């Protein structure tokens, strides 16, 4: 099932996307999916980012090939950092190239959307708290990230976390292919099962120290092939079974 957020007639709502039909929900989907009977044609609504996280918990160097290309070694445990929710933009929205940066990179990733308030999730039980999955681009001002030991500034600019085009709730992405394209040219290609720490491990590890809330997102790390973007470029992140997230750099 494809879950979206949309705007029509000055109202914002969650909905099911069924082909080209938008089926409006009566409330946020995390407490149960309930249609309110109103439908729209897709062209009648404006699509918004499909989730409203209180935080994005991101994982660094979670694909060995990417850790190798960075030349910084493979961490034994998940390397976590936080992106603020003000980074969030949706499919088709612009990513703003900061004037204080001289290298802006794409990082295509799988986003895990949490569906229940959870803390200290036990091994093997992560599926109980996951609502669904989406495509994500962990946009990074690489020069700013490398200038300091903490990554928040280089990864925390407004518009630095595009997500979408929707949340897919009926998918096991374990073997899905992930691909990032820059102006149509493939730059990253891998499969989700190449992650060093799998989704279950990440959910359990993160919730050992913090509570995750409905709508929160785990950015699970990027494969090898990162590279820079310029103003005017278009970047696409495609995950098999989910769809294509497309954004322009301005």
Number of C-beta neighbours around residue 71 at 10 A: 6
3-state secondary structure of 143: helix
Q: What are 25-76's pLDDT values in tens digits? A: 999 999 999 999 999 999 999 999 999 999 999 999 999 766 677 666 678 8
Query: pTM of the prediction?
Result: 0.95
CATH code 2.30.30.370 region(s) in the chain: 2-47
CATH code 3.90.850.10 region(s) in the chain: 56-249
CA distances from 79 to 179, 220, 247 (A): 22, 10, 27
For the segment 179-189, the average pLDDT, to the nearest whole number, is 98
State the pairing for strand pair 79-83/227-229: unpaired
Least confident of 1-10, 61-70, 127-136, 164-173: 61-70
| Distance from C-alpha of 158 to C-alpha of 121, rounded to nearest angstrom | 31
CATH architecture of 56-249: Alpha-Beta Complex (3.90)
Closest CA to 75 of 182, 166, 245, 196: 196
Superfamily of domain 2-47: FAH (2.30.30.370)
DSSP string covering 104-121: EEE-EEEEEEE-S-BSSP
| Distance from C-alpha of 120 to C-alpha of 156, rounded to nearest angstrom | 26
Q: Looking at residue 2, what is its pLDDT?
A: 98
For the segment 199-228, the average pLDDT, to the nearest whole number, is 97
φ and ψ at residue 187, rounded to 5 degrees: -115, -30
Number of C-beta neighbours around residue 65 at 10 A: 13
Going by the DSSP 8-state scheme, the letter that residue 148 receives in this structure is S
Q: Looking at residue 104, what is its pLDDT?
A: 98
Task: Pull the structure tokens for residue 203.
Answer: 């959910």
């Amino acid at each position: 099932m494809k879950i979206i957020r949309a705007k029509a007639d000055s109202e914002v709502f969650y909905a099911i996307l069924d082909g080209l039909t938008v089926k409006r929900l009566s409330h946020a989907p995390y407490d149960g999916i309930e249609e309110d009977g109103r439908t729209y044609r897709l062209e009648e609504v404006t699509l918004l980012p499909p989730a409203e996280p209180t935080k994005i918990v991101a994982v660094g160097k979670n694909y060995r090939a990417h850790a190798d290309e960075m030349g910084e070694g493979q961490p034994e445990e998940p390397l976590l950092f936080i992106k603020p929710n003000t980074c969030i933009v949706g499919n088709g929205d612009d990513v703003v190239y900061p004037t204080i940066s001289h290298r802006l990179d794409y990082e295509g990733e799988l986003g895990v959307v949490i569906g229940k308030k959870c803390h200290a999730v036990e091994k093997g039980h992560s599926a109980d708290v996951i609502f669904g999955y989406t495509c994500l681009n962990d946009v990074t001002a690489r020069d700013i990230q490398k200038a300091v030991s903490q990554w928040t500034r280089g990864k925390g600019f407004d518009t630095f976390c595009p997500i979408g085009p929707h949340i897919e709730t009926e998918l096991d992405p374990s073997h899905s292919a992930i691909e990032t394209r820059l102006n149509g040219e493939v730059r990253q290609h891998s499969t989700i099962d190449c992650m060093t720490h799998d989704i279950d491990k990440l959910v359990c590890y993160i919730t050992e120290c913090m509570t995750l809330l409905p709508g929160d997102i785990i950015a699970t790390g990027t494969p090898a092939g990162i590279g820079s973007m310029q103003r005017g470029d278009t970047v696409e992140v495609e995950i098999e079974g989910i769809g294509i997230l497309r954004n322009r750099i301005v």
